[in-house]
Structure 1
C-alpha cells in the first residue's frame, strides 16, 4: 500500500509539474501563439487601385501604414479592420470592389504587422484602431466600420466609442479569451491571457446597427461566437450564417451582396 501511495503521489506530482510547465510556456509565449503577422507587403501599384494613396497615420510611438481612397461624392468610407495574418494589402480584391461601387476605404496594418513597425499588443491594436477611425473622420464623409476575424475586436471597440453609421462583423469572436478557452479548456486562460479582446463587453456600448456574418464550417472561430455576439448587440440587424463556409470563405460566398444593402439601409436611416 505504501508503494502504491508513493507511486500515486509521484504521478500526481509529475502531472502537476507538467501542467505548471504548460501554463508557464503559454504565458511566456502567448503573443507569439496568438498573432500571426508574418507576410509580404503588397505594393499599392500592384493592387490595381488607381484612386488610392499610401498613408501614414501618427500613433503614440510612431505611425501605422495603409491605403486610403476617397469615396465618390455623397458616398461613405469603410474603415476596414483586418484579420490576424499577413498584411492588409492581401485583401486588395475587397478594396477594389468597394471603390468600384463608389465607397471609399481605409485599410492598414496594426503595429507589429508587416507594414507598420512596432510590437503587437491589445492596447496597441485598440489605439491604432481609434487613430485610424479618427483620421478617416477628419475627411468628412460618413463612416462605416468593417471588422474581420481579429479585426472584429477593435472594430467593436471603436464602434462603442465613436459614432459610425454601421458595424459589420465578419467571423467575429465573442471574445479572444473565449476562443482560447474553447481551444485549451484545461488551462486557466481567463487568469493568464493578456490580450482578451472583450467584444462581449464592448458590444453593449454599440449604438450602430450590427450585421454579423459567419460560417458553420469555421474551425478558427466557432460559429456560435458570432451568434452569441449578435444576440448581445443592442441594435442587431442581419445574422448571416453560411452553411459549411470556413473562416476565409465569406468574401467568395457573397458577403458584399449582404454588406451593400445593409450599409445602404443604415445610411438611409
Structure 2
C-alpha cells in the first residue's frame, strides 16, 4: 500500500507542483488589486482560465477516475480559497480607508483670516491642507496627522467652532490631507501616506515662519502610524500620539476581526509602528483609553514600550475611540506637554 502511494505521488508530483505554483501566483496577483470591481472581474477570469487548464491537464495525464476525483476535489478547494482570500482582501481595503472631503468646511476656512491654505506640488503630486497661524514670524509648529475619517478642512472648522484652538495658542498648526482625502491627489496606502508625510515635513522646514528646532509631530488613530514613521526619519522636538496602535493588522482586525493565522498574509498595509518606534529619538507622549473599542489598549501599551528613550503613557477610562478630541483632560494634557517641550 505504501509503495503504491509513493508511486502515485511520484507520478503526479509535477502536476501537483504546477497546480500549487499557479495557484499561489494567481492569489499573489489578485491581492494586489485596490479596485473592488476590477479585482473581482480579474479573479473570475483567472479562475476560469485555471480551471480550464487544470481540467485539460487532468484529462491528458490522468487516466484513473479515482485520482481525477482527488484532483478535482483539490481544484474545488483551490477555487474556494482563492475566491475567499481575494474577496476578503478587496473588501478589507474598501473598509480600511475612508477618503472624504468637506466642501462646506473648506469654503468656511477660506474666509478665516488666521488660516492659510497649503498647496504642495512635488513629483506630479498635489498635497493640500491648512495652516493655523497663531504666531507671526518664526514660530513653533505642530504637524498633525488625523484619523481615518478626518480631512483637514473638517478638523480646522471643528476646532474653530468648538474653540479648541486655545489649547494650541503658542504653536502654529498644520494638517495636510492624506492621498485621496480632501484635495490631495493620489490613492491612500501606507507607502503613499509615509511619502506625503516626508514631503509635508520638508515643506514645513523650508518655510521662513517655521522654527525648525521646534517642530512637534502629532498623530491620532491611523495617523499615529504616519506620525511615528515621520518621527523615525526626521529630527523633531516631540511626538504626541492619541490612540496609537502597534501595527496595521490591529487596524484591519478592528474592522473585520478575522486576520489571524494564515489570513495575516492578506494584510496589505503594514503600518509597522512597532518597528519605526525603535528609531525615534524623543520620548513621546502617548494617550490611550482602556475603553477604546477600535484600537485595543494592549496595542497602545505594546507600542509604548518600543521607544528607546521611553514614553510617557497616560491611560484613560470611560471614553471611546472617537471621543479623544472631545475630552478636556486629553487636550489639557497635550497643552501641558506642548508647553514643557517648548520651554526646554
For residues 97-116 of structure 1, the aligned pairs below 5 Å read 97-98=164-165, 101-116=169-184
Partner of 1:256: 331
CA distance in 2, matches of 1:222, 1:15: 35
Larger Rg: 2
Contact 2:249 2:259 in 1 (8 A): no
The match for 2:90 among 6, 16, 28 is 28
Query: Which moved further from structure 2: 96-105 or 223-232?
Result: 96-105
Residues 1:151 and 2:223 are matched in the alignment: yes
User: Where is the helix percentage greater, Structure 1 or Structure 2?
Assistant: 2
Q: Which sections of structure 2, spanning at least 5 residues, go unmatched?
A: 1-71
1:180 Cα shift?
2.6
CA distance in 2, matches of 1:60, 1:265: 37
Contact 1:37 1:114 in 2 (8 A): yes
Residues 1:83 and 2:150 are matched in the alignment: no
CA distance in 2, matches of 1:47, 1:252: 24
Partner of 2:315: 241
CA distance 1:148–1:173, change in 2 (3 Å): same
Residues 211-259 of structure 1: per-residue CA shift (max 9 Å, x gap): 1111122111111111111111222342122112111111222222011
Normalising by structure 2, we get a TM-score of 0.68
Q: Which sections of structure 1, spanning at least 5 residues, go unmatched?
A: 1-9
Normalising by structure 1, we get a TM-score of 0.86
CA distance 1:28–1:211, change in 2 (3 Å): same
1:189 Cα shift?
4.2
1:29 Cα shift?
4.0
CA distance in 2, matches of 1:195, 1:36: 14
Contact 1:181 1:190 in 2 (8 A): no
Query: Which moved further from structure 2: 64-73 or 156-165?
Result: 64-73
CA distance 1:234–1:153, change in 2 (3 Å): same
Contact 1:88 1:109 in 2 (8 A): yes
CA distance in 2, matches of 1:157, 1:175: 12
